[in-house]
Structure 1
Amino acid sequence: MSSHAIEISLLGRAYSIACPAGQESALRQVADKLEKQLSSLKSRTNNLSREEIAIMAALNIGYELLEEQQKNQDYIKQMDDKIGLLQSTLEDALVERSSKED
Protein backbone atom coordinates (compact mmCIF):
# COMPACT_ATOMS: atom_id res chain seq x y z
CA MET A 1 0.00 0.00 0.00
CA SER A 2 1.45 3.37 -0.96
CA SER A 3 1.52 6.42 1.22
CA HIS A 4 1.64 10.13 0.64
CA ALA A 5 2.10 13.20 2.80
CA ILE A 6 -0.80 14.85 4.60
CA GLU A 7 -0.47 18.37 5.98
CA ILE A 8 -1.63 18.86 9.57
CA SER A 9 -1.27 21.76 11.97
CA LEU A 10 -0.52 21.46 15.68
CA LEU A 11 -0.21 24.53 17.91
CA GLY A 12 0.19 26.73 14.85
CA ARG A 13 2.99 24.69 13.35
CA ALA A 14 2.49 22.78 10.07
CA TYR A 15 3.66 19.19 9.73
CA SER A 16 3.82 16.95 6.69
CA ILE A 17 3.01 13.39 7.79
CA ALA A 18 3.27 10.26 5.66
CA CYS A 19 -0.10 8.54 5.51
CA PRO A 20 -1.17 5.25 3.90
CA ALA A 21 -3.71 5.67 1.11
CA GLY A 22 -7.25 5.52 2.45
CA GLN A 23 -6.25 6.53 5.98
CA GLU A 24 -6.27 10.30 5.45
CA SER A 25 -9.56 10.86 7.25
CA ALA A 26 -8.42 8.85 10.29
CA LEU A 27 -5.14 10.79 10.46
CA ARG A 28 -6.99 14.10 10.27
CA GLN A 29 -9.38 13.02 13.03
CA VAL A 30 -6.46 12.04 15.26
CA ALA A 31 -4.69 15.31 14.46
CA ASP A 32 -7.85 17.27 15.33
CA LYS A 33 -8.19 15.45 18.65
CA LEU A 34 -4.52 16.03 19.41
CA GLU A 35 -4.79 19.71 18.50
CA LYS A 36 -7.72 20.11 20.92
CA GLN A 37 -5.76 18.35 23.66
CA LEU A 38 -2.65 20.46 23.03
CA SER A 39 -4.61 23.72 22.88
CA SER A 40 -6.45 22.89 26.08
CA LEU A 41 -3.21 22.12 27.91
CA LYS A 42 -1.55 25.26 26.54
CA SER A 43 -4.43 27.47 27.69
CA ARG A 44 -4.35 25.98 31.20
CA THR A 45 -0.57 26.02 31.60
CA ASN A 46 1.03 29.00 29.88
CA ASN A 47 4.44 28.35 31.39
CA LEU A 48 5.05 24.96 29.71
CA SER A 49 7.21 24.55 26.62
CA ARG A 50 5.91 22.89 23.46
CA GLU A 51 7.80 19.76 24.43
CA GLU A 52 6.25 19.66 27.91
CA ILE A 53 2.78 20.25 26.47
CA ALA A 54 3.34 17.40 23.99
CA ILE A 55 4.48 15.09 26.81
CA MET A 56 1.43 15.96 28.92
CA ALA A 57 -0.86 15.33 25.93
CA ALA A 58 0.85 12.01 25.25
CA LEU A 59 0.37 10.98 28.87
CA ASN A 60 -3.31 12.00 28.80
CA ILE A 61 -3.95 10.15 25.55
CA GLY A 62 -1.99 7.14 26.80
CA TYR A 63 -4.13 7.07 29.95
CA GLU A 64 -7.32 7.24 27.86
CA LEU A 65 -6.04 4.36 25.74
CA LEU A 66 -5.20 2.31 28.84
CA GLU A 67 -8.70 2.90 30.25
CA GLU A 68 -10.30 1.79 26.97
CA GLN A 69 -8.11 -1.29 26.80
CA GLN A 70 -9.12 -2.21 30.35
CA LYS A 71 -12.81 -1.73 29.47
CA ASN A 72 -12.32 -4.00 26.46
CA GLN A 73 -10.63 -6.65 28.60
CA ASP A 74 -13.46 -6.47 31.15
CA TYR A 75 -16.03 -6.78 28.36
CA ILE A 76 -14.20 -9.75 26.83
CA LYS A 77 -14.15 -11.49 30.22
CA GLN A 78 -17.88 -10.83 30.70
CA MET A 79 -18.63 -12.23 27.25
CA ASP A 80 -16.42 -15.27 27.88
CA ASP A 81 -18.30 -15.90 31.15
CA LYS A 82 -21.68 -15.55 29.42
CA ILE A 83 -20.61 -17.84 26.57
CA GLY A 84 -19.37 -20.40 29.10
CA LEU A 85 -22.70 -20.27 30.94
CA LEU A 86 -24.61 -20.61 27.66
CA GLN A 87 -22.48 -23.59 26.61
CA SER A 88 -23.02 -25.24 29.98
CA THR A 89 -26.77 -24.65 29.79
CA LEU A 90 -26.94 -26.11 26.27
CA GLU A 91 -24.86 -29.13 27.26
CA ASP A 92 -27.09 -29.74 30.30
CA ALA A 93 -30.20 -29.47 28.11
CA LEU A 94 -28.78 -31.89 25.56
CA VAL A 95 -27.80 -34.38 28.26
CA GLU A 96 -31.27 -34.11 29.81
CA ARG A 97 -32.93 -34.59 26.43
CA SER A 98 -30.71 -37.55 25.67
CA SER A 99 -31.59 -39.13 29.03
CA LYS A 100 -35.33 -38.73 28.38
CA GLU A 101 -35.03 -40.38 24.95
CA ASP A 102 -33.34 -43.46 26.42
Structure 2
Amino acid sequence: MSTSAVEITLLGRTYSIACPKGREDNLRSVAREVEAQLTNLKTRTNSLSREELAIMAALNIGNELFEEKQKNKHYMAQMDERISLLQSTLENSLIERSRKDD
Protein backbone atom coordinates (compact mmCIF):
# COMPACT_ATOMS: atom_id res chain seq x y z
CA MET A 1 0.00 0.00 0.00
CA SER A 2 1.42 3.40 -0.89
CA THR A 3 1.73 6.22 1.58
CA SER A 4 1.55 9.97 1.51
CA ALA A 5 2.90 12.60 3.87
CA VAL A 6 0.34 14.42 5.96
CA GLU A 7 1.24 17.52 7.92
CA ILE A 8 -0.31 17.89 11.35
CA THR A 9 0.25 20.51 14.01
CA LEU A 10 0.38 19.73 17.71
CA LEU A 11 1.03 22.48 20.27
CA GLY A 12 2.38 24.79 17.60
CA ARG A 13 4.79 22.28 16.05
CA THR A 14 4.20 20.86 12.61
CA TYR A 15 4.94 17.21 11.93
CA SER A 16 5.03 15.39 8.61
CA ILE A 17 3.53 11.93 9.14
CA ALA A 18 3.56 9.03 6.67
CA CYS A 19 0.03 7.80 6.15
CA PRO A 20 -1.51 5.09 3.94
CA LYS A 21 -3.30 6.57 0.93
CA GLY A 22 -6.99 7.06 1.59
CA ARG A 23 -6.54 7.36 5.37
CA GLU A 24 -5.39 10.98 5.45
CA ASP A 25 -8.71 12.33 6.75
CA ASN A 26 -8.65 9.78 9.58
CA LEU A 27 -5.18 10.90 10.59
CA ARG A 28 -6.21 14.55 10.52
CA SER A 29 -9.25 13.78 12.69
CA VAL A 30 -7.10 11.91 15.20
CA ALA A 31 -4.61 14.77 15.21
CA ARG A 32 -7.43 17.23 16.02
CA GLU A 33 -8.51 15.03 18.94
CA VAL A 34 -4.93 14.76 20.23
CA GLU A 35 -4.49 18.53 19.87
CA ALA A 36 -7.69 19.08 21.86
CA GLN A 37 -6.40 16.77 24.62
CA LEU A 38 -3.02 18.48 24.68
CA THR A 39 -4.54 21.97 24.73
CA ASN A 40 -6.94 21.00 27.52
CA LEU A 41 -4.12 19.54 29.60
CA LYS A 42 -1.89 22.55 28.94
CA THR A 43 -4.53 25.01 30.14
CA ARG A 44 -5.15 22.99 33.29
CA THR A 45 -1.49 22.34 34.10
CA ASN A 46 0.85 25.07 32.88
CA SER A 47 3.90 23.53 34.55
CA LEU A 48 4.09 20.35 32.41
CA SER A 49 6.68 19.96 29.68
CA ARG A 50 5.72 18.90 26.14
CA GLU A 51 6.85 15.37 26.97
CA GLU A 52 4.74 15.24 30.13
CA LEU A 53 1.74 16.65 28.26
CA ALA A 54 2.18 14.00 25.56
CA ILE A 55 2.37 11.24 28.18
CA MET A 56 -0.72 12.49 29.99
CA ALA A 57 -2.64 12.81 26.71
CA ALA A 58 -1.54 9.29 25.71
CA LEU A 59 -2.74 7.93 29.05
CA ASN A 60 -6.09 9.73 28.74
CA ILE A 61 -6.60 8.49 25.19
CA GLY A 62 -5.47 5.01 26.19
CA ASN A 63 -7.99 5.01 29.02
CA GLU A 64 -10.77 6.07 26.64
CA LEU A 65 -9.78 3.26 24.27
CA PHE A 66 -9.70 0.74 27.13
CA GLU A 67 -13.19 1.78 28.28
CA GLU A 68 -14.56 1.50 24.73
CA LYS A 69 -13.02 -1.97 24.36
CA GLN A 70 -14.64 -3.02 27.63
CA LYS A 71 -18.00 -1.72 26.42
CA ASN A 72 -17.51 -3.59 23.15
CA LYS A 73 -16.68 -6.84 24.99
CA HIS A 74 -19.81 -6.43 27.12
CA TYR A 75 -21.92 -5.71 24.05
CA MET A 76 -20.49 -8.75 22.21
CA ALA A 77 -21.24 -10.96 25.22
CA GLN A 78 -24.82 -9.68 25.25
CA MET A 79 -25.18 -10.34 21.52
CA ASP A 80 -23.76 -13.86 21.94
CA GLU A 81 -26.34 -14.49 24.66
CA ARG A 82 -29.16 -13.20 22.50
CA ILE A 83 -28.03 -15.24 19.50
CA SER A 84 -27.85 -18.37 21.66
CA LEU A 85 -31.34 -17.70 23.02
CA LEU A 86 -32.65 -17.13 19.50
CA GLN A 87 -31.04 -20.35 18.25
CA SER A 88 -32.49 -22.27 21.17
CA THR A 89 -35.94 -20.78 20.59
CA LEU A 90 -35.80 -21.65 16.89
CA GLU A 91 -34.59 -25.19 17.57
CA ASN A 92 -37.35 -25.72 20.15
CA SER A 93 -39.95 -24.37 17.73
CA LEU A 94 -38.73 -26.68 14.98
CA ILE A 95 -38.82 -29.66 17.34
CA GLU A 96 -42.38 -28.77 18.43
CA ARG A 97 -43.43 -28.36 14.83
CA SER A 98 -41.97 -31.70 13.80
CA ARG A 99 -43.77 -33.39 16.71
CA LYS A 100 -47.07 -31.85 15.61
CA ASP A 101 -46.46 -33.00 12.03
CA ASP A 102 -45.89 -36.61 13.17
Alignment partner, residue 21 of structure 1? 21
Q: Does 2:84 correspond to 1:84?
A: yes
Unmatched tracts of structure 1, length 5 or more? none
Percent identity at matched positions? 67
RMSD of aligned residue pairs (Cα, Å): 0.4
Alignment partner, residue 57 of structure 1? 57
Aligned amino acid, residue 26 of structure 1: N
Write out the 4+ residue segments of structure 1 that deviate beyond 4 Å after TM superposition. none
SS of 2:76's partner is helix
CA apart distance, 1:44 = 0.3
> What CA distance in whole angstroms lies between the structure 2 residues aligned with 1:45 and 1:3?
36
Alignment partner, residue 94 of structure 1? 94
Alignment partner, residue 43 of structure 1? 43
Alignment partner, residue 67 of structure 1? 67
Count of residue pairs the alignment pairs up = 102
SS of 2:8's partner is strand
Could you state the TM-score of these two structures normalised by the residue count of structure 1?
Answer: 0.99
Unmatched tracts of structure 2, length 5 or more? none
CA apart distance, 1:4 = 1.4
Deviations 1:26-67 (A, max 9, x none): 000000000000000000000000000000000000000000
Alignment partner, residue 4 of structure 1? 4
Aligned amino acid, residue 98 of structure 1: S
